[in-house]
Structure 1
Amino acid sequence: MTTSTERRTATSQEQAPEVASEGADPAPPGAPARSGDFGGFGGLGRRLRTVGSRAHWTTPRLVRGLTALSLATLLGLGATATVVLAGARDGTDAIGHRAAPQATRAADLYFALSDMDAQAADLLLVGADPDYTTLRKQTLDTYEQRRAQADDDLQQAARAAADDPAGQRAVRLVLDRLGSYEALVARAQLLEDQAGAPAGQPSPAALEAYRQATDLLRQQLLPAADRVTVANDASVERVYQQQRDALGSGWWWLLAVGLVTLSALLGLQRALALRFRRVVNPALAAVTLLTGVALVIGLNLTGRAEDHLVTAKSNAYDSVAALSRARAVAFDMNADESRYLIDPARAAAYEQTFVEQTQAIARIEGATLADYNTRLADAAARHRADHAVIPFGGYLGSELHNITFPGERDAAEHVLDTFQQYQLTDRKIRELRAAGKVKEAVTLDTGLSKGQSNYDFEQLGNAIGDTIAINSGAMDRAVAETDGDLDGTTAALAAGALAVALALTAIGVRPRLREYR
């Protein structure tokens, strides 16, 4: 067995400085350093050769160097994991808690404004006819509800657009013009009440006031609300792409730093085993195991965060956005149906916009109002026979292409069913109007009983809302799971594991280095 005195002697010999070669002439004072000296580039080269030589790496130097490398890589692994996982949480939080709700709120603003105008049109449509007294009160109540909703949506949109100049301009425009719109609607209602006009035949003065109101809504308010929606959608897409790219590269960075850390720890253990004839260092073995487990957990959390991000945005939010736009457009479409009845002079224009809104929801290329229902029925039958076949576009087509969650397909196909029924009832209204049966057309348009247009439209709105709820719930769950994975407890455990790893590394190496003091 080697005694401690012998080991100290060997160590002092290992650490003894090199002596100058025999016969070497000393450099005169002030002479420039020669290539063999430590000064200048030649000296730097010799330093590097010395450091790279096996003789330079005595046992203490080797152990200290590998220990420093292990501690540095452990800290680097902790920092990398912190950056990657904190970014994952921030990204999902930005989409789930801020951007997505703001974008949905902006779409709700469009919906509220559209339905306000639909209710205003229905008020003129029923006129002073006593048969519609109850319906008139219900319509007024709904108008007031939508006005309050629009005000609330505007306040939310204003806060959301605080850092977006284009969004701020759009919100200000809606705020500035909404009061004018409401004043025109109030004037139209007052003039209609004073005229006591029959159903479907508003007074010219009331109709002119409503025309000004609906033109203001369609030419300024709705486009501005749509710009807010588009700006929020763009914000969600930008955050999503940035965070998904960061998670993808972050996973590889975490793996690379983790492997370097494990290599450094294994190298340190090997050096101790060879130089000190130890099979295993318990403290370093524990650090290596802890690092490996932490690396696997970190990679798993990063992968889960990316999966949750894809679920929240691509699978859930994209459907919520498409369906919210579909609902908003549907209410504008329903208003066009009423506008068609109350304003014969503009009936053709309103019919054309009705077709455009219909196509926005479920696009059938080349279809006209006359053949749309037949072609949609054929497309729907083909889809039900084979769910992979989706022979129509629009917002509903986008949703059917993005079916992900349990119950979502049935809910989306129920939207298709109710949309078809609404379209069928709409054609009956137009047939009655063309036949001169104005009051019958008004009753069918405004009625809330089964088989009447407003009933069918309510079923459509409920079906869209149910499908939105499925996707919103899935998005909320994905965000909540990310929050749970990356909460304060996870951060505290990670910090504790890093502290333990650093301490165990020092504990494992210190007894060996003390032998060289």
Structure 2
Amino acid sequence: MPSANMPVPALNQQAQNTPLQRWQSYLRTTPGRMSLALGLSIAGVLLVALSGFNVYRGVREAVQTVGKDTVPSIVAAERIRFVLASAHANTMNTLLLKEGETGKASTAFRSDMEQAQRELLTAAKNITYGNEEQVPITTIMTALARYEHLLGRMQARSGDAALADLDSANALMQSTILPATLALDQANFDHLTASFERHMDSYVLALLPFILFALLTLAAMIGAQWYLKQKTRRSLNTGLFAGTVIIGVTLAYAVLTLNGLEKNLTSAKRDAFDSIHALSKTRALAYEANADESLLLIQRGHPAAQTQATNSFNNRTAQIMAIKPGELANALASKIKFGGQLGVELTNITFPGEEAAAVNTLKTWARYMEIDQKIRQLEESGQHDEALTLTLGEQNGQSNWAFSEFDKALGKTIEINQQAFDRRIEMAFSELNWFPYILLIAVLASIIAVVAGMKPRLDEYRF
């Protein structure tokens, strides 16, 4: 029987040769530490790639949302609103001019309605947010059929009966159709705002891991370079040096490119689109106010209806420019801020030529408002025919001329911002298209360089 003190070397050796112990023992050797440095470098490069693609995906989604998904829908919604407001204004002009179906205002009305139908069909084909868009589009289409029916019936009637149909058509436009266009706008605008804010909040949080992994990978490669110098007596490992340079350049390229994309995206949203949105609302409000101005004269002999038209006009014009026309010159000279959509635009001047265009828009609107005051004074003093002539006149100093000048100036201001928006979105997509390929090439190149640099040194320790 063996002694109790007899050694059992086989069992002790087995206990000391677990996989973990063998790995720990290997890491104490020079080739083990070289292998660890190589593994850490490759793992770091892969983490840089994953975190870089994560940042890229977030930026691309934000650019897609702003440039392709929501902004075009918002612009389309405002265009529908503007076209319908223009159609309504042309309805009023048709009544004031007492022209037939071939008249200028009647022709413009039909053109506006046809465009509105096309825009609505396009919007219906591009629904992104379900009932938030579908319900207002359906409401507009249904109400427009009723609106045109009322106008058609009005043409066949006269006196108070015709005015009753006009009142019903006007109420339908003001209380149902135009609010539905606003709901369509708001549905997309809410999603745009929420998406943009989420992206701005998450961008830095997504970028930090990318920078951190890149710096850690650089540290691992530099550490491996130092270790090799100590152990192999060589001053520089070409492969490791190349991999370090590639990761360093990739880090600089990615940070500069992504930050440039963020600046383009922010400029497109806050500088260009916010102005486009304010100016598009201005155009719709202006046409609605223009219809109210004509309605004042149509409702001659009906004080309550005229008061309602005046109140509606004042409410809309206050939303456009919350300052009296006579005070505008002093406000511009003194850089005094004022409210209204045009006031908002004046505080968001960014692009070449935008300030001059915005100031011209304000001045032409003030001129239109001054002529409107004369029209009201003539109407109140019993000079209805003179008020009518001033309202419908297209000569210098008359209302339709002034409104046309304003619309041209407004269109120029919108165009400047729209072109800036389109350029920035186009630039963003162009840079985004290249980014993943450059990142992928850099990752593969750095891994190949590091492996090519370390493998010969590891081979030196093989027997």
User: Could you say what secondary structure the match of 1:278 adopts?
Assistant: coil
Aligned match of 2:76: 105
For 2:295 and 2:7, locate their aligned partners in 1 and report how far apart those are by CA, in whole Å: 108
For 2:179 and 2:7, locate their aligned partners in 1 and report how far apart those are by CA, in whole Å: 90
User: Could you say what secondary structure the match of 1:486 adopts?
Assistant: helix
Aligned match of 2:222: 266
Aligned match of 1:398: 344
285, 310, 335: which is aligned to 1:329? 285
The unaligned stretches of length 5 or more in structure 1 are 1-22, 196-202, 365-372
CA positional deviation for 1:249:
2.4
Label 1:159 to 1:424 Cα distance change in 2 as closer, same or farther (>3 A): same
60, 69, 72: which is aligned to 2:40? 69
* AA in 1 matched with 2:241: A
Label 1:421 to 1:264 Cα distance change in 2 as closer, same or farther (>3 A): same
405, 419, 422: which is aligned to 1:459? 405
Aligned match of 2:174: 218
2:399 aligned with 1:468, yes or no?
no
CA positional deviation for 1:363:
1.7
For 1:479 and 1:184, locate their aligned partners in 2 and report how far apart those are by CA, in whole Å: 44
Counting only pairs closer than 5 Å after superposition, residues 360-379 of structure 1 correspond to structure 2 as: 360-364=319-323, 373=324, 376-378=325-327
CA positional deviation for 1:516:
2.3
For 2:16 and 2:403, locate their aligned partners in 1 and report how far apart those are by CA, in whole Å: 89
CA positional deviation for 1:24:
10
**Retained in 2: the 8 A contact 1:122–1:338?**
yes
24, 29, 38: which is aligned to 1:58? 29
Aligned match of 2:332: 384
2:461 aligned with 1:516, yes or no?
yes
For 1:350 and 1:313, locate their aligned partners in 2 and report how far apart those are by CA, in whole Å: 36
CA positional deviation for 1:269:
1.4
For 1:169 and 1:180, locate their aligned partners in 2 and report how far apart those are by CA, in whole Å: 17
Q: 1:21-40 CA deviation, whole Å, 9 max, x = no partner?
A: xx99769x9xxx9xxx789x
Aligned match of 2:272: 316
The answer to which of 280-289 and 251-260 deviates more is 251-260
Counting only pairs closer than 5 Å after superposition, residues 244-255 of structure 1 correspond to structure 2 as: 244-255=200-211
Label 1:516 to 1:447 Cα distance change in 2 as closer, same or farther (>3 A): same
CA positional deviation for 1:208:
1.7
Aligned match of 2:127: 161
The answer to which of 307-316 and 251-260 deviates more is 251-260
| Structure (1 or 2) with the larger CA radius of gyration | 1
The answer to which of 80-89 and 302-311 deviates more is 80-89
Aligned match of 1:368: none
For 1:125 and 1:206, locate their aligned partners in 2 and report how far apart those are by CA, in whole Å: 13
Aligned match of 2:311: 352
RMSD: 2.6
**Retained in 1: the 8 A contact 2:321–2:341?**
yes
For 2:317 and 2:351, locate their aligned partners in 1 and report how far apart those are by CA, in whole Å: 26
Aligned match of 2:376: 430
Aligned match of 1:229: 185
Identity %: 30
Aligned match of 2:90: 119
**Retained in 1: the 8 A contact 2:392–2:398?**
yes
TM-score, structure 1 normalization:
0.82
**Retained in 1: the 8 A contact 2:63–2:428?**
yes
CA positional deviation for 1:56:
4.5
For 1:299 and 1:94, locate their aligned partners in 2 and report how far apart those are by CA, in whole Å: 22
In the alignment of these two chains, the number of paired residues is 454
**Retained in 2: the 8 A contact 1:123–1:189?**
no
2:42 aligned with 1:93, yes or no?
no
TM-score, structure 2 normalization:
0.92
Q: 1:484-510 CA deviation, whole Å, 9 max, x = no partner?
A: 2122x4433332222111111111111
* AA in 1 matched with 2:35: R
Aligned match of 2:147: 181
CA positional deviation for 1:406:
0.9
Aligned match of 2:359: 413
For 2:205 and 2:23, locate their aligned partners in 1 and report how far apart those are by CA, in whole Å: 35
For 1:505 and 1:170, locate their aligned partners in 2 and report how far apart those are by CA, in whole Å: 60
* AA in 2 matched with 1:471: N
**Retained in 2: the 8 A contact 1:181–1:216?**
yes
2:452 aligned with 1:507, yes or no?
yes
**Retained in 2: the 8 A contact 1:124–1:189?**
no
Counting only pairs closer than 5 Å after superposition, residues 136-155 of structure 1 correspond to structure 2 as: 137-155=103-121
The answer to which of 415-424 and 95-104 deviates more is 95-104
**Retained in 2: the 8 A contact 1:162–1:168?**
no
